Every structure is written in C-alpha cells, then in structure tokens.
Amino acid sequence: MTALNPEQLKRWRLILGAAAEDKLLTASGNSNGNQLLDDEDRLMDEALAAIYDGTSNATAGDASGNSGNSGSRAAGLGSSSPKLAKWLGDVRTFFPSDIVSVIQSDAVKRKGLTQLLFEPELLSQVKPDIGMVATLMALRGQIPERTKETARKLVREVVDEIVKRLAQDLTRAVTGAINKRQHSPLPSMTGLDWATTIRKNLKHYDTERKLLIPEKVYFFDRARKSKEWTVILDIDQSGSMANSVIYASIVGSIFASMPSLDTRVVAFDTEVVDLSEQCASDPVDMLFGIQLGGGTDINKSIMYCEPFITEPMKTIFLLVSDLYEGGNRTEMLRRLRELHEAGVKTICLLALSDDGVPSYDTEVAKKLAQYGIPCFGCSPNKLPELIEGALKGMDLQSLSKRVGQGLK
C-alpha cells in the first residue's frame, strides 16, 4: 500500500467507517495504537455512521442506537427526538450546506426518518433546500397538523430564495423584449436606443476630435400594455420531475406578477389541475396543491390548455415533461405539431433544474424535433435568455442549442 499521510488516513477512515480502522492502522505501519480520529473527527464520524453504516432501510435503530443488524455497526438515529435534534446539529456543524442537503435526503430515503418531517422541533432544524421541498410535497398528505406550519415556513424559505435568484433576470428579459416603441427619461443601458440617439445628435458632431457628443440620450420605454403575451406552463407531475415541477411552478408565479403576461400554470398526471389562481396569489399554496407521482396523460393536459391560446403568434407554450406518455401519444404529437404550425412558440423542457436531464422518451423527442419543436433540458439560470429569445422571435432550435443542457 502506498504510504499515506495522516490527513489521507483520516479521510479514508471517515469514508470507510470504523470497521476499517484497524486495517488502516496496520497498513500505515502505526503499531503504537494511535487513533486516526480526534474527538471532533469522531463526532463527524458518528453523524455519518448514523446514515451510512449498516443497510437497514425501514428503521434507523432503536433509541439505544442498535440497528438490529448484528453483522455490521450502525449508529442509528433511533426514535428519540433529542437524538435526532443533536444529529441535525452535528451535520450542519461539520459539513458544508450542499453536503448537508445530501445527507438529510439520504436520512429520509435510507433510514425512513420521517420524524424529520413530522416533528416541528426537528423540521425547524432541517436545512431548507429544493430536495426537502420535493420530499414534503410527496408526503404532504401524511404531514400532521402540528407540523404543517413549520413545513410551510421551510417551503416559503426555499421559494423566496428561488424568486430572489430568478425574478430580476426574468423580469428584465420580458421587459427587454416587449414594447420598444416609446421613449423614456429613465436611463437603462439595456434600453438605450442607439439609432435615435445618434440620429438626433448628428448636429453635435465634433469634427476636430471626430467625436459625437450627444446632447440628449434616448431610452426605450419599458411601460407595457396589459397582457401582450400569453405564457402557458404545462407541468408534468411525475415523481422523477420533482425539481423541475418546483422550479417551473415558481417561475409561473414570477410570470404571473408581470402585467404584460397572461400566465397560466397547469399541472398534470392522469388528471389536470389548474394552478393559475394559486400561482398569482401564493406560490407556497400552489406547491402544496401539486401531487408528485402517478401516471401521465400529456395529451389531456394540452387539450385543456388549448382554449387559453387566443393569439397563437403571441403565445409561448412551455411543456415541462420527460415525454413518457401514458395517454394517447398520437394525439399528443398531433396537438403539439398543430400548436407549432399555428405560430405558438412551442418548447418542451425535458428538465428545468440544475441536475441535468433525466431519462426521457427519446423517440417522442426526436419526432417533436422533426416538427421544429425543440426538446432540451434547461437550467433555471438560462431560462431568462430562453424567454427573451422566444419573445423576440428568435429561432428556437438555435436558441435551444445555446441554452440547453446536454441530452442523454
């Protein structure tokens, strides 16, 4: 074995667990009985062992930490709320926030620790993130009354963070693409009317210095008439689309706040739920109105959305789906093709998340691409560029190649 320095040995010990300590000591030539971990490292090790030692999936052991698996050590979190609370504190102390999110998610999936979600005092210590919101949405029917308000606070914190992250860029993208007809006294580099500014100031050209010195600079007016465009988000509620559902729903709430857009947000499995009203009022209510999982009837959802399209050339239709159709696939393809041919800016987002593109129906995606309907994954940060390009009438196929995530 290649010689390892103490820091490397410690890292391997934390990765492999307590069962590997003797072998690591022997391999390193440490025969004097020195331990690889100090007191702080051992607290970190215990936090990891509670989730990753042992293979029990149904329980995390009893309150004493026994997993019931005599063949392997499993620290367990037990059913004790104080023990869980200490574990949550340790995890947030020893690990960066992105790792905390992974460990919390694994705690629910690997150990069945629904106590994290069902006890207010525990849930209040959970790090809010989009994965935990997806878990709460999936289990919303099981959350007891005493925990619902805490769950709402956690969801609202995540919603507010996403809105803060996306709202300004989305608003700028929409206002930058719509209604550049009148001029405004308010300065904005993105709204600078170069042609008018140059034309109106030609008489101020300095021939000696060969410079145009404008007396007045003209900017496009960002004032918009009400409901110039219709934006429809048709969102697949499949469990595999969880993060995309959350992002798409919150994006819908941002669009709903813009007076120039008539926004519709629809979620579907085998049934269709219109979330437009909740979207415009409270995105947290909207998210709790979504039921992740179930079958998929994309065709039915498109049929539901069609009456909202009154001006095809002024409509963006965003289908957020992995395209696995459980309903009438032929009819689904026909409806999407007809929308596209009527002039609707039709786009299929296979994913709207930072996690890359999930599994999707490649055959359907290829057919839609042949019709001229782009199918791609898009990170939330790229969405403003996509929306601005669609509003400006850019070629969607070219645009999708620029903003899209790689497909599998």
pTM over 0.75: no
User: What is d(CA 262, CA 252) in angstroms, rounded to the nearest whole number?
Assistant: 10
Radius of gyration of the CA atoms of the chain, in A: 27
User: What is d(CA 49, CA 143) in angstroms, rounded to the nearest whole number?
Assistant: 27
Please list the pLDDT of the chain residue by residue as tens digits (408 residues): 455 677 777 777 777 767 777 777 776 666 555 677 776 677 777 777 766 765 444 333 332 333 333 334 444 555 444 455 556 667 667 777 677 767 767 766 666 556 666 667 767 777 788 877 887 776 666 677 888 888 888 889 989 999 998 998 898 888 888 755 444 444 555 567 777 888 877 877 778 888 887 877 776 655 445 678 999 999 998 777 888 888 999 999 999 988 889 999 999 988 999 988 888 778 888 888 787 767 789 999 999 999 999 999 999 999 999 999 989 999 999 999 999 999 999 999 998 887 777 789 999 999 999 999 999 998 898 999 999 889 888 888 888 888 886 554
Cβ contacts of 152 within 8 Å, gap of 6 or more: 284, 288
C-alpha dihedral over 17, 23, 26, 31, to 10 degrees?
60
The Cα-based distances of 40 to 36, 84, 93, 224 in angstroms read 12, 18, 11, 59
